[in-house]
Amino acid sequence: MDALIKANHEHQGSYGGDEFTERAKKLFKQYFSDTTEVFFVYNGTAANVLGLSALTQSFHSILCSELAHINVDESTAPEKFTACKLIGVPTTDGKIYPQDVESKIQRIGDQHHPQAKVISISQSTEYGTVYTVEEIKALSSVARKHNLYLHMDGSRISNAAVSLKKDFRDFTVNAGVDILSFGGTKNGMMFGEAILIFNPVLAAEFHYRRKQGMQLHSKMRFISAQFEALLSNDLWKRNASHSNAMAKKLEAGLRPIPGIVITQSVEGNGVFAIFPKEIIAELQKEIFFYVWNDRINEVRLMCAFDTREEEIERFVKKIRELI
C-alpha cells in the first residue's frame, strides 16, 4: 500500500516504461536468473493461460493434475485462448508423478490425436502440498525426454519456497521450469501477477500475446511498485512464512479433535480436513471456507498473509464447541 502511494505521486511512462517496472524486473532477475524475462499481468488465470499460449500450438495438449487450477478453476480460458486439450493426470496428493505423466503422453506423431507439449504443475499444489526439488527435476526429465515444456503455476510459490527452505531459483529455473506464473495477489498484493520466462527465445513476441490477451496495464507502475515492495526486505517471505505458520497452527489445533481427519500433508498455507457434516454449515457462518469434496465432507481451509492467531484460535474453539 505504501508502495502504491509512492507510485501514485510520480509522473511516469505508461505501459511499463517507468522506473518502478524497471526496478521490479531487476529484482526478479536477481531472484531467478539474468536472462529471465518478466511480464506483469492482472491475475493468476491470465498468467497461466498466457504462459501456456507461449509454449503451444493449437493442436497440442497440456498435461496437468486433474485438480489443477487450470483444469477446473479457470472456466474454459485455457481452451479458448490456446485451443489445446488439457489432459488431467490422476492425483491423490495434488502432485503428479513421472510415471503417471508419461502414461498420458500418447500417440505422438499421430495427426488424429492432440500432441502432448507441456507438463504444468502447481507449486504449492491445490492440496497445499509442495514438490521437492528432486520431484520437479524428475518431471523436467520426462519433459525433455519427450520434447515437452515444463510450466509452473506459482500462484502460491512463496509458500512453497518457505516450506522448502530453498531459493526460488532452486526449484524453478534451475530445476528445468520453462515458464512460471509468480503469484502476487495470494501473497498480499492488491492485484497483479508476474509471468517469468526463463528462455528468452520464448519471450521474443510475448508482449504481443499479453496485449492481445487483454492484460497490458497502461499504468503498469501500480503493479510493479507492489512487486518491488514484495521482493524487497523479504516481505514476500514474511507474508508466506506467516500464512504457512498459521496453517501449521490450525493443523495442530484440529488434529487432536475427534471426528476430524487431516487429509493432506500440511506443507503450505492450506489445511484439508474431513469435518463432521453437521458442523460445516454452522462453521461457515463464522468464517468463509470452501467444501472441497462434498461426498466425504472434506473442507479446504486457507490461511492468508493477514490471518491472525486469534482467528485460528477462535475457529478451533468454535469447532470444539460444536463437536
Residues in region 24-53 near its own copies by CB under 8 A: 42-43, 45-46, 49
Instruction: Give the neighbor-by-neighbor strand order of the sheet with 261-262.
Output: 261-262, 270-274, 298-302, 290-293
Residues in region 277-306 near its own copies by CB under 8 A: 288
Binding mask 192-221 for its own copies (x = CB under 8 A): -------------x-xxxxxxxxxxxxx--
What CA–CA distances, in Å, run from 90 to 64, 66, 100?
Answer: 9, 6, 8
Q: Smaller CB distance to its own copies: residue 34 or 310?
A: 310
Tell which residue, 320, 156, 185, 155, has the closest CA to residue 247.
156
Q: Smaller CB distance to its own copies: residue 210 or 248?
A: 210
User: Residue 211 CA to chain centroid, in angstroms?
Assistant: 22
Question: How many CA atoms are closer than 13 Å to the CA of 133, on its beta-carbon side?
Answer: 13
Q: Which residues pair with 273 in a beta bridge?
A: 262, 299
CA dist 144 and 206 (Å) reads 22
Binding mask 123-162 for its own copies (x = CB under 8 A): ----------------------------------------
> Closest distance between its own copies and the C-beta of residue 313, in Å?
17
Does residue 86 touch its own copies according to CB under 8 A? yes
- Residue numbers at the binding site for its own copies (CB under 8 A): 1, 4-5, 8, 13, 15, 42-43, 45-46, 49, 57-61, 72-77, 79-81, 83-86, 111-115, 185, 190-191, 205, 207-219, 222, 288
